[in-house]
Amino acid sequence: MIQLIDLFLDRGYEITFATAASKSDFSYDFSNTVVTEQEIKLNDESFDSFLSTLHPSIVLFDRFMIEEQYGWRVKNECPEALLILDTEDLHFLRQARQKSKKQQKSIELFSDTAKRELASILRCDLSLIISEEEMKILTEQFKIDASLIYYLPFLESAITTETTQNWVSFEDRAGLAFIGNFIHEPNWDTVQLLKSTVWPALRTKLPNVSLNIYGAYVSPKVLQLANERENFNIKGRAKDARETLSKHKILIAPIQFGAGLKGKFIDAIHVGTPSATTSMGAEAMRGDLNWNGIIEDDLDRFVDGTVKLYQDKALWQKAQQNGIKILNERYSKEKFAQPFINHVESIDLSVHRQNNFFGQILNHHTTQSTKYFSLWIQEKNKK
């Protein structure tokens, strides 16, 4: 989201960041930017007045749940605004994979969440998709018209020779790390797998090495996994993810389910930290390039590969070089930013919406249920 904001700022857009979320010590600080922040409420007509005054030309929703909540109000107040949905990842895909793993059944994508998320995509003028695999699923399995979706991965600054000169050396690093907030199910599942299966096998081969788990929202059940004798450390929230990863030799993430792209691997590449993961973890991240570490689904081979990567300096340094190539070729903001802005500004909204007749149908009918449910809550809150 911050990358998208910066992209539009660079183009000269005025940005208003509106959210109903409460501020915390970890909220992004816009005070040194020209971004205007606006607190908004759920199910409240004050949002209509705010929109009417602001009258934006583009409205970008952060995930489909936000479009469900506010989309109909935007259409009422600003019918000519271009509506963009930032999917982040396909929630229905992640949930289907999680359910498949838990129940040991084949993946069923055609769920109620899929209906909601796809309806949101159809109601919007353009949806941002972060993964090539998800683009494929949308166009091939769900027959979503290609004009409604746009592939836009992470927008990263290139890694230069000057960048690599500041990387911590192989000799000055120690231990393995995993990072990711604990309320995100793929992360919590990975931590449990590390504790129960992967680390018991790994520590017998790397007896003096520690595994350090970083992440926000540490609960008692998470803290209970810590064991100093086993060198299994729960570190909690990392103040700076990249600085934290730069101190360790490997980012270890045997992810079993999920969707989208994994920001933890991008952070690791930026600081020259190789990664050990699964095909699910690396999905859509490397294209046809070599991974910056190992990709292995068999846990025995995963353990052996991690040990070799940890101990073999030449292999480790080769993994670093692979990471540089992945980031510079697949995530360079210079490659994606301007074409995206050009695409957004070239959309003829009347023609575009006329061609998306299914979207018109959904906007005419299905949003009425959301609209009147929200209005009912709004009236109820007045009492």
What class does CATH assign to 161-330?
alpha beta
pLDDT at 378: 73
Give the pLDDT score at 216. 96
Tell me how far apart the alpha carbons of residues 213 and 215 are, in angstroms, rounded to a whole number: 7
Cβ distance 340 to 150 under 8 Å? yes
> Low-confidence residues of the chain, pLDDT below 70?
365-376, 383
Q: What was the pLDDT predicted at 368?
A: 63
Partners of 82 in the β-ladder = 58
Instruction: Name the nearest CA neighbour of 214 among 237, 243, 242, 247.
Output: 237
Half-sphere exposure of 244 (CA within 13 A, CB side): 20
Q: For residues 281 and 297, give the distance between their C-alpha atoms in angstroms, rounded to a whole number.
A: 10
**Gap between the Cα atoms of 190 and 202, Å rounded:** 15
**What angle do the packed helices 185-193 and 91-103 form, to 10 degrees?**
30
Contact between 61 and 70 (Cβ < 8 Å): yes
DSSP letter at 53 equals H
User: What's the confidence (pLDDT) of residue 143?
Assistant: 97
pTM summary value: 0.93
**What are the residue ranges spanned by the domains of the chain?**
2-156+333-382, 161-330
DSSP 167: S
Q: So what's the architecture of 2-156+333-382 in CATH?
A: 3-Layer(aba) Sandwich (3.40)
The string of pLDDT tens digits covering residues 314-326 is 999 999 999 999 9
2-156+333-382 and 161-330, same CATH topology = yes
